[in-house]
A and B are shown apart, each in its own frame.
Chain A
Amino acid sequence: ETGVTQTPRHLVMGMTNKKSLKCEQHLGHNAMYWYKQSAKKPLELMFVYNFKEQTENNSVPSRFSPECPNSSHLFLHLHTLQPEDSALYLCASALGTASGTDTQYFGPGTRLTVL
């Protein structure tokens, strides 16, 4: 399998549930990203990892907990979410250089609905 994959593609959860989103990239990249896409807001960067180290947390609430065990895998652990957290969660990867020419490649996203 090539590119960036995300599972599950759709997820419905209650506010008291704990679930995890998974992202895997097969591009040999070192940087991985989580974005949130809500219906009426611009794409929001949530977290950045480079060489497995978290380098950016964009003031994300602690009910979202990322994990990056290696450069190919990225998880987003969810617990006690709110209905307003319902959104499309997109994962992306990139080489992880600050060359000014790095390109991010996106997965298909996980559509999350919080009841």
Chain B
Amino acid sequence: GDSVTQMEGPVTLSEEAFLTINCTYTATGYPSLFWYVQYPGEGLQLLLKATKADDKGSNKGFEATYRKETTSFHLEKGSVQVSDSAVYFCALSVPTQGGSEKLVFGKGTKLTVNP
């Protein structure tokens, strides 16, 4: 079945460090891929997405490239800030029987950035 595997962490970095959170997926077909972020005490916010192979999603300095050959969608940021401390979720979309789509999530990676 469809699934997402992401590095579990937790990840602790110093401010201005480089961030990589690995995400790989298994899916039939070519799903859209997403990164969501959850700040403490809040719901999930869409961070970025890519809908086809070789697409690069980017937002707030974060980037991820849809790599079909390695079935990966790794999240990167060149210089993290304390305000980036949150839990990051990788997800893919699959169609439902009712004509909509549903998300399959990874387990989440908690990032803590220290000053």
Q: Which residues of A contact B (CB under 8 A)?
A: 4, 6, 30-31, 33, 42-43, 45, 48, 50, 53-56, 90, 92, 94, 96-98, 100-109
Contacts and interface: CB of A to CB of B under 8 A. Distances in A.
A35 to B, nearest CB: 9
Classify chain B's interface size: 20 to 34
Interface of B: 30-32, 34, 36, 42-46, 49, 51, 89, 93, 95-103, 105-108
A55 B96 contact: yes
Contact of B96 (A6, A50, A101): A50
Nearest to A43: B105
B99 A102 contact: no
B100 A98 contact: yes
B7 to A, nearest CB: 14
Contacts of A102: 32, 93, 100-101
